[in-house]
Amino acid sequence: EETISANELQEMSTQGSKYIDEEIQNALKGMKEIKNLMGQTDEERQTLLSTLEKAKKQKEDAVKVTRDTEMKLKASPEVCNDTMTALWEECKPCLKQTCVKFYTRICRSGSPAVGHQLEEFLNQTSPFYIWIDGDRVDTLLENNQEQTHMLDDMEDRFSQVSRAMDKLFQSRLFSFEPPKPFFPFPFSSFRDNSFHKPRFLYPKSRVVR
Amino acid sequence: DTVPFFIHEHLNFPDLFRPFSDLIRQAQQAMDISRLMGDFATGNNNDTRLVCREMRRNSTGCLKMKNQCEKCQEILSVDCSASNPAQAQLRQELKTALQMAEKFTKQYDELLKSYQQKMFNTSSLLSQLNQQFSWVSQLANHTQNDKQAYLQVFSVTSKTTDLDNSSKLGDTEVVVKLFDSDPMTMMVPKEVSWRRPKFMEIVAKKALDEFRKNNQE
């Protein structure tokens, strides 16, 4: 039944705004915590990155030795040709059957012409290639390329995130000084004046206490 | 430490917060994990995927199954050292080098997975950031100027009819606006007098919850 005056409505707005302001501050505090966590994660990431670089060098050196040795082997005249060719002719049908079975069961989506393509491939393949583990070397090189691509991709993403986060955390919100003594909030208060009292109005001793 | 924004004349609320949501979104898009997950499957699945891909491309993957055929395995056991000892030696060197390279590749793969885990952690922190903060940025988007109150109360009335189940007769109906958003109607139980500070805390909390709900991305 009571009539609420415009001043009282305004005072209620002030009280409500105070609550919202606290919530915004809580959100900002949460952001700062997340910022710290991101900083920690980034430090760990940097450490890991340097380990990765060492491991990459080690791996690439080993890959290079493998490639070089394979080249030398390929350049040397093929030996035991007859034995290998005979075994290869017996190996091919089994290999084709195993591969088609695997492809139909596991790979599912794919070209129905895989059987024909496979036969052609096997006919063109030299048993020498198998003897020197050429397929393993090819897989190794392919993995090597994939890993490089993967790391580049992840690095690219991290640098995009880093740019966005730098902009975000460079905001004045995260760097400003304590407030200067002024109070521009437009509403008056009739219930809790202490809330609006600017800090500089408190005597020093009370602040200390 | 943060301090109430409205005592910062030099901090303009809309200008300050509006870009935040976009920046967080940009960062989240960069960390689009679903795509990366597709690219970087783990364990045996990775091998299977690789074999399938190789088979589709040029059938090379098929040679990985040579171990399942006896005659194919025999090719690997052919000893040609008698006809060319130097080549046999070279082949042995290749086997050793290959083993080493495969071992280092595997180790590198494990490290890459740890690095990927860091990406997941960062991505989850970005989600938290978005959850925790996007509503503030959205509030800023509803703000035309920084001089207005965060929350404005337009009317406070006592409910005289009992038409719905969400409130009771005598409860207080409050119409508020958060910045320039649409007016929202909040109900406060009649037990809490509008003269008590608790009253506006309830109203503001409800208004904020509703704003967050309506603006969830």
Helix (H) or strand (E) holding B175: strand B172-178
B50 contact residues in A (CB cutoff 8 A): 139, 142-143
Name which residue leads in pLDDT, B166 or B74.
Answer: B74
Q: For residue B153, what are the β-bridge partners?
A: B176
How far does A7 lie from chain B, in Å, by closest CA?
11
Are the beta carbons of B143 and B179 closer than 8 angstroms? Answer: yes
- Judged against a pLDDT cut of 60, whether residue B36 lies above it is answered with no
As a whole number, mean pLDDT of residues B94-119 equals 94
Which pLDDT does position B7 carry in this prediction? 46
How many whole angstroms separate alpha carbon B217 and alpha carbon B215? Answer: 6
How many whole angstroms separate alpha carbon A37 and alpha carbon A165? Answer: 13
Helix (H) or strand (E) holding B77: helix B70-77
Please indicate if any CB of chain B lies within 8 Å of the CB of A59: yes
Confidence bin at A61 (pLDDT 50/70/90): very high
Confidence bin at B132 (pLDDT 50/70/90): confident
Q: Could A164 and B24 be called an inter-chain contact, meaning their C-beta atoms sit closer than 8 Å?
A: yes
- Judged against a pLDDT cut of 60, whether residue A188 lies above it is answered with no
Confidence bin at B148 (pLDDT 50/70/90): low
Which pLDDT does position B16 carry in this prediction? 66
Helix (H) or strand (E) holding A6: helix A6-75
Find the Cα–Cα–Cα–Cα dihedral B40, B43, B47, B52, rounded to 10°.
Answer: -60
**Overall size of chain A counted in residues:** 209
Please indicate if any CB of chain A lies within 8 Å of the CB of B214: no
Which pLDDT does position A208 carry in this prediction? 38
SS3 state at B185: strand
- Judged against a pLDDT cut of 50, whether residue A137 lies above it is answered with yes
Which of A54, A137, A37 lies closest to B111 in space, CA to CA? Answer: A54
Q: Measured at the alpha carbon of residue A188, what is the angle toward residues A187 and A191, in degrees to the nearest 5?
A: 125
Percent pLDDT > 90 in chain B is 34
Site from A5, A7, A24 to mutate, B interface, most B CB atoms within 10 angstroms: A24
**CA-based max dimension of chain B:** 107
- Cβ–Cβ pairs < 8 A, chains A and B: 333
Please indicate if any CB of chain B lies within 8 Å of the CB of A141: no
Which pLDDT does position B145 carry in this prediction? 62
Least confident of A42-51, A98-107, A118-127, A174-183: A174-183
Q: Could A30 and B133 be called an inter-chain contact, meaning their C-beta atoms sit closer than 8 Å?
A: yes
Name which residue leads in pLDDT, A75 or B58.
Answer: A75
Read off the pLDDT of residues A121-130 as tens digits, 9 standing for 90 and up: 899 999 999 9
How far does B170 lie from chain A, in Å, by closest CA?
10
Helix (H) or strand (E) holding B152: strand B151-158
A124 contact residues in B (CB cutoff 8 A): none
Name which residue leads in pLDDT, B169 or A5.
Answer: A5
- Judged against a pLDDT cut of 50, whether residue B31 lies above it is answered with yes
B151 contact residues in A (CB cutoff 8 A): 13, 16-17, 19-20
Q: What is the DSSP letter of B187?
A: E
- Judged against a pLDDT cut of 70, whether residue B49 lies above it is answered with yes
Which pLDDT does position A191 carry in this prediction? 32
How many whole angstroms separate alpha carbon A100 and alpha carbon A116? Answer: 10
Highest mean pLDDT among A49-53, B62-66, B158-162: A49-53
Site from B53, B66, B75, B138 to mutate, A interface, most A CB atoms within 10 angstroms: B75
Which of A20, A26, A4, A186 lies closest to B178 in space, CA to CA? Answer: A20
Q: Could B16 and A12 be called an inter-chain contact, meaning their C-beta atoms sit closer than 8 Å?
A: no
Which pLDDT does position B162 carry in this prediction? 63
